[in-house]
Amino acid sequence: MADAVVEQGRPIGAAGTRKRTSLRNVLGRKSTVAFLLTLPLIILIALLVLYPAVYSIHLATLNKSMQKFVGFGNFTFLFKRDTFWMVVKQSCIFAITAVFFKALMGFIVAHFVHNIPAKGQRKWRGMLLVPWVIPPAMSTLAWLWLFDPSYSAFNYTLSFFHIGPINWLGDNLWARFSVILVNVWYGAPFFMIMYLAALKSVPDQLYEAAAIDGANWWQKIWFITLPMMRNIIAITTLFSLIVTFANFDIVRILTSGGPLDQTHIFATWAFKVGIEGSDIPLGASVSLFMVPILAVAAIFILRDVSKRGNEA
């Protein structure tokens, strides 16, 4: 509509001024203004996201000394390595388990918070967000001290109940449990806040109608809450899945991938191979391995979300 107004307001003048007028028209269009306003961000993304992404693809096609183009050679090499497949398996276990529990915890806590009277709710929301707002490198250090192999605060507490000592970071299974636990602790508040926002947008009339029809607590969740929240659930799950697959700091600080590589995930192994082992092309290949898989998942989930949006 605004475009049309500008069009109508165009002065009809001589041929000599036509060029100037058309430039003014171009600049006057909303789309052009919008483009110019977003240009700094586009440049920033191109520099900080696009360029590193393209550069890492370029690196992944080079040999170890980075002097020869090897195409998919690094990937075919990786596919033959047992350790790589172990890292793939562990990354999937880590990401899927962590996202599932983050979503579950977030869902439960969001309901609790939603049921708190509005007056005191803000205080609780703020407190529950604390794990998410502390830089994970710092909070993970605190967890490291809690899990400390020799002086664990957890083991100290458990000793009062004659349990343990548990080898939190030295035993394969406990180490996996510990890194997932910290990831859930860190990420659950994000789910909680997103689900809380979604819960607040569900009309109360639906629940009232369901109550009149005799629906129980479970039926209200299954037939009202979950369908009304499905877009938010899909988007948060996708977002969290991508971020969790790319996690680095928690594993790096807690276990560095050990014991016996049992907690390595893509980013930590890529760092080990690429930086510590000075094989940057192989490290780049490891970190790029998940891109096509996550991209396909993102396309499907986002397509589903937009389809539901249109239905609505």
Partner 1 sequence: MSRKTLTRRQFVAATAMSSAALITAPYVRGAYAAGKLSIGFWDHWVPGANDASRALVNEWAEKEKVEVSIDYITSNNNKIQLTVAAEAQAKSGHDILQMPTWWPHAYAENLEPLNDIMEPLIKQNGEVNGTVKYLGQAGGKWLAIPATPGSQIKGPCSRIDLMKKHAGIDVQEMYPAGAQPKADGWTMDTFLKAAEACQKGGFPFGIGLGETTDSVDTAGAIFQSFGAELVNAKGDVTVKTDAVRQALEYYKKLIAFLPPDAPSWDDASNNKWLISGRGALILNPPSAWAVAKRDAPQVAEQCWTHGFPAGPKGRFAPYLPYFWGLWSFSKNKEAAKSLLVHLSAPSSIAKFVAASGGYDLPAYANMTTLKTWAEEGPPKGTLYHYPNPYNHQTLSIAASPAPPKVAQQIYFQATLTKMALRYAQGEKMEATLAWAEGECEGFMRS
Could you list the residues that contact partner 1 (CB under 8 A)?
Answer: 63-65, 77, 81-83, 149-151, 167-171, 175, 252, 255-261, 271-272, 275-280, 282
Place of tokens 């039926």: 219
Residue (72 or 151) nearer to partner 1, CB = 151
- Shortest Å distance, C-beta 73 to partner 1: 9
The answer to whether residues 254 and 152 touch, using CB atoms and an 8 Å cutoff, is no
Residue (236 or 268) nearer to partner 1, CB = 268
263 CB burial (10 A radius; 0-12, 13-18, 19+): buried
Q: What does the alpha-carbon distance between residue 237 and residue 298 come to, in Å, rounded to a whole number?
A: 10
Instruction: Read off the amino acid at residue 222.
Output: W
Residue (21 or 61) nearer to partner 1, CB = 61
Question: What's the token pair of residue 68?
Answer: 């020869």
- Shortest Å distance, C-beta 279 to partner 1: 7
- Shortest Å distance, C-beta 142 to partner 1: 15
Residue (236 or 263) nearer to partner 1, CB = 263
Phi, psi angle pair for 205, to nearest 5°: -60, -35
Place of tokens 């918070």: 113
Phi, psi angle pair for 265, to nearest 5°: -125, 180
Residue (22 or 278) nearer to partner 1, CB = 278
Rounded to a whole number of angstroms, the CA Rg of the chain reads 26
Of residues 162, 169, 166, the one with CA closest to residue 154: 166
- Shortest Å distance, C-beta 274 to partner 1: 8
Q: What does the alpha-carbon distance between residue 111 and residue 209 come to, in Å, rounded to a whole number?
A: 19
Residue (99 or 175) nearer to partner 1, CB = 175
- Shortest Å distance, C-beta 4 to partner 1: 51
- Shortest Å distance, C-beta 148 to partner 1: 8
The answer to whether residues 286 and 269 touch, using CB atoms and an 8 Å cutoff, is yes
Residue (127 or 275) nearer to partner 1, CB = 275
Q: 69 pairs with which residues across the strands?
A: 62
- Shortest Å distance, C-beta 185 to partner 1: 19
